[in-house]
Amino acid sequence: MAQLTDDCFAFGGKLTQVDEALDQLKGTLNPSLKSEQVPLVGALNRILAENIISPENVPADNNSAVDGFSIYYDDIQAGSETKLPVSGRAIAGVPLGRLQNRGEAVQILTGALMPDGPDGQRPDTVVMKEDCLLDDGAVLLPEGIYRGANCRLMAEDVQCGETILEAGCRLRPQEIGLAASIGCGHLPVMVPLKVAVFSTGNEVLDPGDSLFKGAIYDSNRFTLMQLLKSVGCEVNDLGILEDDPKIIADALLSASTECDLILTSGGVSTGEEDHVRKVVEKEGSLFFWRLAIKPGRPVALGQINDTVFIGLPGNPVAAMVTFLQIARPIILKLSGANDSVPKSFLVQSNFSYKKKLNRREYVRVQVKQNGNGKLTAEKCIKEGAGILSSMVFADGFVELSEDIVNVEKGDFVNYIPFSELGL
Asked if 228 contacts 197 with a C-beta cutoff of 8 angstroms, the reply is yes
Shortest distance, position 200 Cβ to Mg ion, whole Å = 6
**Smaller CB distance to ligand AMP: residue 299 or 334?**
299
Shortest distance, position 3 Cβ to ligand AMP, whole Å = 19
Question: Is residue 115 part of the contact set for ligand AMP (CB under 6 A)?
Answer: no
Binds ligand AMP by CB under 6 A, chosen from 31, 95, 386, 417: 386
Partner interacting with residue 218 (select from Mg ion, ligand AMP, none; CB below 5-8 Å by kind): ligand AMP
Tally of CB atoms within 10 A around 249: 20
Shortest distance, position 203 Cβ to ligand AMP, whole Å = 7
Three-class DSSP category at 330: helix
What is the CA 252 to chain-centroid distance, rounded?
Answer: 30
Return the H-helix or E-strand segment holding 332: helix 328-334
List the beta bridge partners of residue 406.
354
Q: What's the count of helices (H) and strands (E) in the chain, helices before strands?
A: 8, 28
**Smaller CB distance to ligand AMP: residue 115 or 295?**
295
Shortest distance, position 314 Cβ to ligand AMP, whole Å = 2
- Where does this chain touch ligand AMP (CB under 6 A) — which range of 152-160, 162-170, 261-269, 351-359? 261-269
**Smaller CB distance to ligand AMP: residue 81 or 281?**
281
Return the H-helix or E-strand segment holding 74: none
Question: Is residue 48 part of the contact set for ligand AMP (CB under 6 A)?
Answer: no
Binds ligand AMP by CB under 6 A, chosen from 16, 315, 335, 349: 315
Question: Is residue 223 part of the contact set for ligand AMP (CB under 6 A)?
Answer: no
Q: CA end-to-end span of the chain, whole Å?
A: 37
Asked if 66 contacts 90 with a C-beta cutoff of 8 angstroms, the reply is no
Rounded Cα distance, 258 and 195, in Å: 9
Question: Is residue 219 part of the contact set for ligand AMP (CB under 6 A)?
Answer: yes
Taking residues 190 to 229 in sequence order and writing x for each that binds Mg ion by CB under 5 A, - otherwise, the string is: -----------x----------------------------
CA-based angle 221:222:226, to the nearest 5? 115
Rounded Cα distance, 139 and 69, in Å: 8
Shortest distance, position 418 Cβ to ligand AMP, whole Å = 20
Residue 170 has what DSSP assignment?
B
**Smaller CB distance to Mg ion: residue 127 or 280?**
280
**Smaller CB distance to Mg ion: residue 123 or 201?**
201
Shortest distance, position 266 Cβ to ligand AMP, whole Å = 3
Rounded Cα distance, 337 and 287, in Å: 23
Binds ligand AMP by CB under 6 A, chosen from 314, 329, 336, 396: 314
Question: Is residue 296 part of the contact set for ligand AMP (CB under 6 A)?
Answer: no
Rounded Cα distance, 63 and 361, in Å: 55
Rounded Cα distance, 282 and 304, in Å: 10
Q: Residue type for 185, please?
A: G
Asked if 166 contacts 54 with a C-beta cutoff of 8 angstroms, the reply is no
Question: Is residue 298 part of the contact set for Mg ion (CB under 5 A)?
Answer: no
**Smaller CB distance to Mg ion: residue 42 or 271?**
271
Residues of span 230-269 touching Mg ion by CB under 5 A? 266-267
Question: Is residue 201 part of the contact set for ligand AMP (CB under 6 A)?
Answer: yes
Binds ligand AMP by CB under 6 A, chosen from 161, 177, 271, 410: 271
**Smaller CB distance to Mg ion: residue 177 or 271?**
271
Rounded Cα distance, 251 and 201, in Å: 14
Beta strands 163-165 and 52-53: pairing type? antiparallel
Residues of this chain that bind Mg ion (CB under 5 A): 201, 266-267
Residues of this chain that bind ligand AMP (CB under 6 A): 199, 201, 204, 216, 218-221, 265-267, 269, 271, 274, 313-316, 386
